């Protein structure tokens, strides 16, 4: 049994900084009282089929967002609005990564691929821990002092997690990354910000309160600065995630999270970083220009000697016949350029780059 509840909050007196582009989102919370266990077994069973076929990889995404159907996820939520799935199953993500595993790696194998930071509320931005932090005892010490440990790409040392991400890469046809965030009780590791990726939050241990805010704009390309509280207004969604819970939000959604009364550990699975039409065009258009230059003498002709005297910002208000003629030539060349665009070659170039960077499939 599960139900979907709209959780959009109407803020009274909501006021944001001038000229902010308000993007209204309608997040949903799914409460599943069987933890997805009836139809979806544990991740080890799902991964037993491997990640070499599309069918097996589709099953991995199905497990990740259960009990929501994959088609519904893409139709209603992907790049559109946040989603929270409350499962009531604290063992749902067992075996992916844990605080105990991090401490073991540091103590036994000298693992160092992590950073230590905290959000300084008085300063309004994150602060990095600069002293050496190379022993498990030191990690425990900085935790007790309120510092968050961010483990960078833990799939490099966690086989099950690596298989999970490899399967998702087959689904999304895009590289998939992951960071782990281990935060002491009643503390916050990062300032309010937005990400440049599609974010999937897998809550593994403890509890954490998340607050989501309206983005400046839809689907930004770059990671944001740290925001101060008076720059983002009130949250439109506040939710406490517990072990086994899942949350998704599109790139651009401003968010912050604070551990509750217990230590918190979640995995942020990320994808679609710089994977937009703009990125395909950035490959296709240079290819088309090269082909047009070789195939059409009009692209090889030099600029008219009066080009700078007729075009440019200083002449933008002009209406001379010469200016109009030059603009018409430019427009004609752009129309011709369309005929040289080879979408297949551009996609092949991006796909080749993806194959070179992606995780290896499970044996």
Q: What is the mean pLDDT of each run of 10 residues along the chain (363 residues)?
A: 35 37 62 52 80 85 94 96 94 93 90 92 88 89 92 94 94 96 95 96 97 92 93 95 97 96 94 97 98 97 95 85 94 97 97 91 55
Helix (H, G, I), strand (E, B) or coil at 319: coil
Structural contact between residues 117 and 150, judged by C-beta atoms closer than 8 angstroms: yes
Q: Residue 24 has what pLDDT?
A: 54
Q: What's the DSSP call for residue 223? A: P
Beta bridge partners of 255: 193, 212
CA dist list (Å): 239 to 180, 198, 211: 19, 19, 7
Q: Listing from the earlier edge strand, what are the strands of the sheet with 2-6?
A: 2-6, 28-32, 83-86, 246-249, 198-205, 264-271, 176-183, 148-152, 114-120, 125-128
Q: Residue 26 has what pLDDT?
A: 62
Q: Residue 361 has what pLDDT?
A: 63
End-to-end Cα separation, the chain, in angstroms: 36
Structure tokens at 349: 């170039």
Q: Residue 11 has what pLDDT?
A: 37
Q: Name which of 162, 128, 204, 135 is nearest 51 in CA terms.
A: 162
Q: Is the peptide bond before 301 cis (omega within 30 degrees of 0)?
A: no
CA dist list (Å): 252 to 36, 80, 246: 29, 10, 18
What domains are there in the chain, each with its CATH number?
2-271 (2.60.120.650), 277-357 (1.10.10.1500)
Q: Residue 331 has what pLDDT?
A: 97
Q: Could you give the CA distance from residue 46 to residue 57 in angstroms, rounded to a whole number?
A: 9
Q: What's the DSSP call for residue 302? A: P
Structural contact between residues 211 and 254, judged by C-beta atoms closer than 8 angstroms: no
Q: Residue 28 has what pLDDT?
A: 74
- The beta strands (E) that lie in the chain are given as 2-6, 28-32, 83-86, 114-120, 125-128, 148-152, 176-183, 198-205, 208-213, 237-241, 246-249, 254-259, 264-271
Total Cβ atoms within 10 A of residue 247: 25
Helix (H, G, I), strand (E, B) or coil at 122: coil
Helix (H, G, I), strand (E, B) or coil at 192: coil
Q: Could you give the CA distance from residue 93 to residue 245 in angstroms, rounded to a whole number?
A: 9
Structural contact between residues 81 and 28, judged by C-beta atoms closer than 8 angstroms: yes
pTM confidence score: 0.87
Q: Residues near 221 by Cβ (< 8 Å), separated by ≥ 6?
A: 196, 274, 276, 278
Residue linked to tokens 């139809």 = 39
Residue linked to tokens 């551990």 = 259
Handedness of CA 308, 309, 314, 318 (dihedral sign): negative
Structural contact between residues 171 and 57, judged by C-beta atoms closer than 8 angstroms: yes
What's the residue count for the chain? 363
């Amino acid at each position: 049994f599960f139900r979907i509840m709209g959780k959009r909050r109407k803020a009274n007196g909501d006021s944001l900084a001038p000229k902010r582009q308000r993007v209204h989102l309608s997040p949903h919370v799914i409460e599943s009282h069987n933890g997805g266990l009836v139809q979806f077994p544990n991740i080890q069973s799902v991964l037993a089929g491997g990640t070499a076929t599309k069918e097996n990889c589709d099953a991995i995404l199905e497990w990740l967002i259960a009990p929501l159907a994959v088609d519904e996820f893409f139709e209603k939520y992907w790049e559109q609005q946040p989603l929270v799935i409350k499962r009531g199953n604290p063992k749902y993500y067992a075996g992916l990564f844990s605080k105990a595993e991090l401490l073991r790696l540091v103590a036994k194998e000298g693992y160092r691929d992590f950073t230590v930071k905290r959000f300084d509320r008085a300063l309004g931005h994150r602060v990095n821990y600069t002293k050496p932090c190379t022993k498990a005892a030191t990690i425990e010490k900085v935790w007790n002092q309120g510092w968050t440990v961010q483990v960078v790409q833990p799939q490099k040392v966690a086989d099950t997690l690596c298989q999970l991400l490899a399967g998702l890469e087959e689904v999304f046809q895009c590289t998939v990354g992951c960071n782990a965030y281990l935060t002491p009780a009643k503390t916050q590791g990062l300032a309010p910000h937005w990400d440049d990726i599609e974010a999937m939050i897998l809550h593994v241990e403890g509890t954490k309160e998340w607050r989501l805010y309206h983005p400046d704009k839809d689907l930004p390309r770059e990671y944001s600065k740290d925001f101060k509280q008076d720059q983002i207004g009130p949250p439109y969604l506040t939710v406490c995630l517990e072990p086994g819970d899942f949350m998704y939000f599109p790139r651009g959604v401003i968010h912050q999270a604070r551990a509750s009364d217990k230590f918190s550990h979640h995995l942020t699975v990320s994808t679609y970083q710089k994977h937009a039409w703009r990125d395909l065009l950035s490959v296709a258009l240079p290819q088309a220009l090269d082909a047009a230059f070789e195939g059409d003498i009009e692209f090889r002709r030099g600029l008219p000697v009066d080009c700078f005297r007729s075009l440019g910002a200083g002449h933008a208000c002009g209406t001379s016949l010469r200016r109009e003629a030059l603009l018409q030539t430019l427009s004609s060349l752009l129309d011709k350029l369309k005929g040289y665009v080879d979408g297949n070659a551009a996609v092949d170039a991006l796909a080749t780059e993806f194959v070179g960077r992606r995780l290896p499939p499970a044996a």
